[in-house]
Amino acid sequence: MSTRTSRRNFLALTTAGATLAGLGDLKFLAQLPRVSAQEAKPDAKIVQMQSDIEPLVRLLEDTPRNKLLEEVAARVKRGLTYQEVVAALLLAGVRNIQPRPSVGFKFHAVLVVNSAHLASISSPDEHRWLPIFWALDEFKSSQAADVNEGNWTMAPVDEAAVPSPTKARQAFIDAMENWDEAAADAAVAGLARTAGAHEVFELFARFGARDFRSIGHKAIFVANSWRTLQCIGWRHAEPVLRSLAYALLNHEGDNPARRDDAADHPGRRNVELAHRIRDDWQSGKLDEAATTEMLATLRTATPDESCDKVVELINRGTHPQSICDALFVGAGELLARQPGIVALHSVTSSNALHYAYTASGDDETRRLLLLQNAAFVTLFRDAMRGRGAVGDTRLDQLTPQMPEGGNDAVIDEIFRLVSRDRMAAAQGVLAYLKNQGDPKQLIDAARVLVFLKGNNAHDYKFSSAVLEDYYHVSPRWRDVYLASGVFNLRSSEDRDNQLVARTRAALTG
């Protein structure tokens, strides 16, 4: 496929057939596989989903990978909705894929559902099925990996252990603080059935950010699962929250409650440090100099020193947005210094922590999340040193340089440069934006290239994070932040994946 093909020619999706015109005529059922009475019975050894979504979840689980896209496409044509597919996709993932030995690897099939959803809702109507069909295929890949690693499946909750509504909240807190998996599983089921959605989110927001394990995936899972549940409905929450609690309790070695591990130190310290932030901390002023000072701290300081700097700047009148600007740009700067898996997760973790920070209604939790984000950026920085050479790029010193070809062709040239010279591509992004180029056109092009060229979950996780957060950074800093994204975005010269053609054939055949 030509890399100059316009976005309108990438794919033409059809939703024909998704009408009520054939209501009452059940002949179409003959086209579906027959389901025996035995097959329709629930399996007592696995958790059951809501009765209306269970058959679709089982379809995703049982259909071979080489036939799933075609099977789902056929049902979409007959009226299966986007929301139903996303719900079944998330639920099939949490039931079939174990978030161990780390909340990553094969579990990305679950983590990426929200990222695919964000890519969908940010795209033109004709492109919206593409990320979801990619995620369907990713689920089948991860499901196969899970089978090879022991074929874990979420079991039904121990109903006898589920606490009463009045005791579920404290039981969950106690279980999580004691790292008690069985107790947490029963307690979170009780919470899901009786507590309000926002009450549950507030608890998970704190526990998801409390420790630096699983390369930031705990915080990512909290944000992504919460956001996906907002799309598919809270009635599907129980199995998702059970998977989430299990994931957040992942650790190595002895019970972390009984030892002082480096992964837990910043979180424990920041619980106390948060109380040192002034009461009217949200009333400060945007301060470009404070952002620059915070950036300088993130480059060299320890996690404790970085968090102390946050408190210092806010207490002298800096608005927390100026701190957030430094955290976003600092994470992007790490990626420019060492493109790769560690710095990438500094960006996606900052996205998740910032989302939780903005979504939380608890003042203490918001303070803690801001501090933990500062700690995480420095911890990612230190972790990069074990991965090889780390450069010294400073995004606040990045100079704009327009690529050859002029304004009309600059976006094409930027994404060609991504595969040849990422620093030149970053300078091109900055020049384009400084020259009043439309950021939406650049963002749309980046997203379509992920659809066409993306071949792993990080393509979706990263792009959805960085393209969303462009609008969360202050105008003074957002251009250099977006420029840093090219260090992990797809190039127009990368090889096309095969799923676009397969999805096109499935939906239009």
Q: Where are the domains of the chain?
A: 159-253, 265-387
Report how far residue 354's alpha carbon sits from residue 374's, in angstroms, rounded to the nearest whole number: 11
pLDDT of residue 509: 75
pLDDT band, residue 29 (cuts 50/70/90): very low
pLDDT at 93: 98
Q: Is the peptide bond before 101 cis (omega within 30 degrees of 0)?
A: yes
Counting Cα atoms < 13 Å in the Cβ hemisphere of 44 gives 0
* For residue 31, pLDDT beyond 60: no
Beta-carbon contacts of residue 502 (< 8 Å; ≥ 6 apart): 69
Neighbours of 82 (CB within 10 A): 18
Q: With a cut of 90, say whether residue 126 has pLDDT above it.
A: no
Check residue 284 and report its DSSP letter. -
pTM of the predicted protein model: 0.90
Which of 497, 491, 465 is CA-nearest to residue 137? 497
Q: Which of 356, 465, 461, 484 is nearest to 103 (CA)?
A: 461
Place of tokens 């909750």: 157
Numbers of helices and strands, H then E, in the chain: 23, 0
Total residue count of the chain as it appears in this document: 509
pLDDT in tens, 153-198: 999 999 999 999 999 999 999 999 999 999 999 999 999 999 999 9
What are the E-state strand segments in 440-492? none
pLDDT average, residue stretch 107-113: 97
Banded pLDDT at 407 (limits 50, 70, 90):
low
Q: If pLDDT is split at 50, 70 and 90, which confidence band does 11 have?
A: very low
Tell me the C-alpha distance between 237 and 192, whole Å.
Answer: 6
Tell me the CA distances in angstroms from 388 to 201, 340, 342, 422, one per residue in order: 38, 10, 11, 18
Would you say residue 403 has pLDDT above 50? Answer: yes
Q: Which helix (H) or strand (E) holds 298?
A: helix 288-300
Q: What is the pLDDT of residue 38?
A: 47
**What DSSP state is assigned to residue 101?**
S
> What average pLDDT does range 64-75 have in this prediction?
96
> So what's the pLDDT on residue 32?
37
> Which amino acid belongs to residue 344?
L
Residue reference for tokens 């801001």: 370
Which residue has better confidence, 505 or 157?
A: 157
Task: Identify the CA nearest to 486 among candidates 432, 436, 419, 440.
Answer: 419
Question: How far is the C-alpha of 500 from the C-alpha of 502, rounded, in Å?
Answer: 5
Given a cut of 60, whether residue 262 has pLDDT beyond it is: yes
* Phi, psi for 368 (deg, rounded to 5): -65, -45
pLDDT class for 405, splitting at 50, 70, 90? low
Nearest 5 degrees, angle CA 4-CA 445-CA 411?
Answer: 65
C-alpha dist (Å) from residue 364 to 201, 346, 367: 14, 23, 5
